[in-house]
Amino acid sequence: MQEYNINNYLDGVKKIGMCGHIRPDGDCVGSCLGLYTYLKNNYSEIDVDLYLEPIADKFKFLKYSDEIINNADADKEYDLFIVLDCSAIDRIGEFAKYFNSASKTLCIDHHVSNTEFADVNIVYPDYSSASEVVFTLLDREISYDTACALYLGIIHDTGVLKYQSTSAQTMEIAGKLMSKGIPFTDIIDDTFYSKTYVQNQILGRALLESVLFYDGKCIFSVVKKDEFEFYNISSSDLDGIVEQLRITKGVECAIFLYETAPLEYKVSLRSKDLIDVSKIATYFGGGGHKRAAGFCAKGTVYDVINNISEQIELQFEKEQDNI
Ligand code: AMP
Ligand code: MN
Ligand code: MN
């Protein structure tokens, strides 16, 4: 640990801008607010602005979540712009404006598909989360608020410390964060497991309409635009559906699509042991990790599933050849 230190990048820096990826998830919010609170607590002489698309209500208990700026309307230039939990520059949306005009840029990430788009790229693909990477960069006081944010990020990207990306180091860091007296049970229950009534309804519907294929080794389900309107939900209400599909007995690879525009889908891929879904997502212009990845696809559901199936089959065939 501690190969890099955030302190090394702050010499002479007066204004910092930060952002995470579009449609921010738990790790994105946790790593951003974790570093934001750390900088505010320990470097009060530096001005820091944090940019994110609107975050889910369940994350708003985190300190300073009310200071997050949701748009890139202001004309600002930063000495340092930090991008977190983001594999490629096209994943920061309108905040690219601040990235492009900054004197120096830093990316803190854990995606195996990271394109090293910043001046300095601190990328550990074998770390569970960007929040874990952030923790290893800090050598000053970690406050209760920083601990809550980083713990939340780790919990979300590890599926509560269970995915294969969870290491002994992840558990040690989670332990250190818990020792700050954070309400870890509530963080897990309220932000990871708890669901609203409509979230449960849409989950139930997605499971009911899911389709097993490839001898039961793959499963997919789709949520269409009219269902968004019917249930009055947003994309963050679909969190957890692909995880539930993934744990279907006998399934190696789960695919979940939701319609973002006519003939346009956001695709989430998850696998258990064999399929490297980051390779498939990267092939289709997205990215991610070995067991969790995503991309945006155009076409009919039939086309999208067919195209993904071909790539899954290729990997299964390779696997077969290696036996
Ligand atoms: P998701 O299925 O959206 O939960 O994403 C799973 C993982 O894949 C996350 O680490 C995302 O950052 C990554 N990912 C999802 N969509 C994309 C995309 N369009 N481009 C690059 N990475 C993505
Ligand atoms: Mn993320
Ligand atoms: Mn992440």
Which residue has the least CA distance to atom 6 on ligand 1? 293
Which residue has the least CA distance to atom 14 on ligand 1? 294
What's the pLDDT tens digit per position in 241-292? 999 999 999 999 999 999 999 999 999 999 999 999 999 999 999 999 999 9
Residue of 295, 296, 304 to mutate, ligand 1, most atoms within 8 A of C-beta: 295
Q: Which ligand is nearest to the CA of 110?
A: 3
22 C-alpha to center of ligand 2: Å?
Answer: 9
291 C-alpha to center of ligand 1: Å?
Answer: 11
DSSP one-letter string for 181-234: T--HHHHHIIIII---HHHHHHHHHHHHT-EEETTTTEEEEEE-HHHHHHHT--
- The pLDDT score that the predictor gives to residue 28 is 98
State how far the Cα of 52 lies from the Cα of 73, in Å rounded to an integer: 13
State how far the Cα of 2 lies from the Cα of 138, in Å rounded to an integer: 8
Which residue has the least CA distance to atom 13 on ligand 1? 288
- The pLDDT score that the predictor gives to residue 2 is 54
DSSP one-letter string for 271-301: ESSS--HHHHHHHTT-EE-SSEEEEEEES-H
274 C-alpha to center of ligand 2: Å?
Answer: 22
- The pLDDT score that the predictor gives to residue 323 is 65
Low-confidence ranges of the chain (pLDDT < 70): 1-2, 323
Is 210:219 a contact under the CB 8 Å cutoff?
yes
270 C-alpha to center of ligand 1: Å?
Answer: 10
